[in-house]
Amino acid sequence: MSESTQQAAADEREVDVVVIGGGSTGENVADRAHRGGLEQVVLVEDELVGGECSYWACMPSKALLRPTAALAAARRVPGAAAAADGELDVAAVLTRRTSFTSDWDDSSQVQWVEGAGLELLRGRARLDGPRRVVVTASDGTTTTLVARHGVVAAVGSTPSEPPIDGLDGVPHWTSREATSATSVPPRLLVLGAGVVGSEMATAYRRLGAEVTLVAGSAVLSAFEPRAGELVADALRAEGAEVVTGSRATAVERDGDDGEVRLTLDDGRVLVGDELLVATGRKPRTGDLGLETVGLEAGQALDIDASGLVAGVDGRWFYAAGDVTGLAPLTHMGKYAARAVGDVLAARARGEATDEPAPWTPYATTALRQAVPQVVFTDPEVTSVGMTAQQARDAGIDVRAVELDLSVAGSALQADGYTGWASLVVDEDRHVLVGATFVGQDVAELLHSATVAVVGEVPLERLWHAVPSYPTISEVWLRLLESYGL
Ligand SMILES: Cc1cc2nc3c(=O)[nH]c(=O)nc-3n(C[C@H](O)[C@H](O)[C@H](O)COP(=O)(O)OP(=O)(O)OC[C@H]3O[C@@H](n4cnc5c(N)ncnc54)[C@H](O)[C@@H]3O)c2cc1C
Ligand SMILES: NC(=O)c1ccc[n+]([C@@H]2O[C@H](COP(=O)([O-])OP(=O)(O)OC[C@H]3O[C@@H](n4cnc5c(N)ncnc54)[C@H](O)[C@@H]3O)[C@@H](O)[C@H]2O)c1
């Protein structure tokens, strides 16, 4: 027992489960474990209950994007366009965004936690050896929890920034400032053209900023290459500058909020009034006490199919959500959370002792095989499963079919509709292992592809899933025809 734990011994309590992190993932683990029959489930949260998604990620970012997408959509439909020729009301957009974050107040989520029968403990949690968690409250008092059935790390991730000369000393935006800003900078530099960079470049361009998007790679390089090309084309068409294949080497700023100058590896210097660094995320495990259970501080937590962390003795330490480095998305964190909460309850009853088989109730198979994602740029980019290249790299005998998205439904949706779609087929099994749709309003098309991938529906049977006319879903028919059905 460490010195800090000895001091806190008077406050030591045994409980069923400790969930560290009250974000969307942690809330769901705790709820499922409790519903499964575990009475004393303690949720430990250091900041706002609800985590990144509610306050600085999904909700506010989509709230910034949605009004601009609605306006752009109306302007693409003659007749409606005439009624939509005014200016975007930026103040109203920001106000609505703030309402979606409940003004960064977590009272309603706290109410939900309490109503669900969970115990909320405010403070910073640290592991202190197997099954032990020391929680330090903001006034310095500590509580030691000893978990009978398990400890779950659902601590999320934080921005990861590249080593750029001067960056540490220059105040700049991360996704938190970009999603909570109270005004729009006249000129915004965005470093990183992944999901955060592409979405925020779209939002801020449409809110009136001059935007320059810079990436070492192509835009949205984790997706099919055509998806990123179409998003880059659209951003350029709306007046943003898109610089790909360039790395930033140095940054400087006049004072704390003056002009920012970003130097690129080809010598160019970009100038802006604000800089958003959106170059990926890292697991929030730097100060979690991982070394007290034989793991390395700062590492992503490697999990088995039931969420059990690899490299730790005994069956008590689980992880879910961004901290695992797998599919850092709210819906996938919650999917993993359901499995972990359920398996904790099952194992407390003496059931589910082995690692679960793929696609069985306690398994998180989709985390590795069928991750759906929507990027809310315009065009939207949606994908599930593997890109053609990823499938080839995995040794699958692949055939990819792709086409421009142009069907009666898309023509009706918007004049000049621009879109693209592809299917990645495993030729041995004749099933889909991946799909991508790009275009306005394709987000709702994605779940059909997810069902096809997860269900391993043979193409010959998929042929009988007839898309309604005239909808954008008709692209499914065109894709299957292109395949040769
Ligand atoms: C700008 C942006 C937009 C995004 N948009 C989307 C989207 O549209 N759709 C989507 O699916 N995903 C989106 N994501 C990803 C999504 O936000 C994350 O995948 C999700 O929030 C992860 O949830 P989590 O519960 O694992 O982690 P978090 O939400 O980060 O929650 C972890 C919680 O743990 C707490 N915590 C950490 N360490 C401790 C500790 N030691 N003690 C106590 N508490 C601790 C933190 O305070 C935090 O509340 C977006 C991300 C960003 C950055
Ligand atoms: N709609 C959504 O689902 C949504 C929205 C936002 C974020 N997210 C989640 O958040 C995660 C993090 O997003 P992100 O955009 O921060 O990361 P990301 O991994 O998607 O993209 C990082 C980008 O930074 C670039 N980059 C890295 N180092 C660089 C350097 N030194 N110089 C220039 N460019 C550099 C990369 O080339 C890439 O374009 C995503 O993986 C996603 O899961 C999801």
328: in domain: yes
Helix axes 24-35, 107-115, angle to 10 degrees: 20
Number of domains in the chain: 3
Q: In this structure, are residues 181 and 257 in contact, taking their beta carbons and an 8 Å threshold?
A: no
Task: Give the CATH number, domain containing residue 200.
Answer: 3.50.50.60
58: in domain: no
Whether the CB of 327 sits within 6 Å of ligand 1: no
Best residue among 64, 196, 282 to mutate for probing ligand 2, ranked by most atoms within 8 Å of CB: 196
179 and 326 together in one domain: no
User: How many angstroms does the Cα of residue 99 sit away from the middle of ligand 2?
Assistant: 26
180 and 220 together in one domain: yes
Q: Is 391 exposed, middle or buried (0-12, 13-18, 19+ CB in 10 A)?
A: buried
23 and 140 together in one domain: yes
Q: How far apart are CA 49 and CA 103, in angstroms?
A: 13
Q: How far apart are CA 389 and CA 373, in angstroms?
A: 18
217 and 236 together in one domain: yes
Domain boundary pick from 367, 398, 430: 367
82: in domain: no
Whether the CB of 191 sits within 6 Å of ligand 2: yes
Domain boundary pick from 332, 367, 402: 367
User: How many angstroms does the Cα of residue 429 sit away from the middle of ligand 2?
Assistant: 33
Task: Give residue 431's domain range.
Answer: 379-483
Residue having the nearest C-alpha atom to atom 43 of ligand 2: 328
User: How many angstroms does the Cα of residue 306 sit away from the middle of ligand 2?
Assistant: 27
Whether the CB of 281 sits within 6 Å of ligand 2: yes
Q: Which of the ligands is closest to the CA of residue 157?
A: 1
User: How many angstroms does the Cα of residue 280 sit away from the middle of ligand 2?
Assistant: 4
Q: Is 2 exposed, middle or buried (0-12, 13-18, 19+ CB in 10 A)?
A: middle
81: in domain: no
Best residue among 53, 61, 195 to mutate for probing ligand 2, ranked by most atoms within 8 Å of CB: 195
Instruction: Tell if the pTM clears 0.90, that is, is over it.
Output: yes
pLDDT, tens digit only, all 485 positions of the chain: 444 444 545 589 999 999 999 999 999 999 999 999 999 999 999 999 999 999 999 999 999 999 999 999 999 999 999 999 999 999 999 999 999 999 999 999 999 999 999 999 999 999 999 999 999 999 999 999 999 999 999 999 999 999 999 999 999 999 999 999 999 999 999 999 999 999 999 999 999 999 999 999 999 999 999 999 999 999 999 999 999 999 999 999 999 999 999 999 999 999 999 999 999 999 999 999 999 999 999 999 999 999 999 999 999 999 999 999 999 999 999 999 999 999 999 999 999 999 999 999 999 999 999 999 999 999 999 999 999 999 999 999 999 999 999 999 999 999 999 999 999 999 999 999 999 999 999 999 999 999 999 999 999 999 999 999 999 999 999 999 999 99
Place of tokens 């659209």: 234
269 and 295 together in one domain: no
Q: How far apart are CA 443 and CA 381, in angstroms?
A: 8
Task: Tell me how many degrees the CA angle 176-177-183 measures, rounded to the nearest 5.
Answer: 145
Whether the CB of 98 sits within 6 Å of ligand 2: no
Strand residues in 258-413 grouped as ranges (E): 260-264, 269-272, 274-277, 281-283, 317-319, 373-375, 380-385, 398-404
459 and 474 together in one domain: yes
Whether the CB of 216 sits within 6 Å of ligand 2: yes
262 and 335 together in one domain: no
Q: Which atom of ligand 2 is nearest to the CA of 327?
A: 43
Whether the CB of 246 sits within 6 Å of ligand 2: no
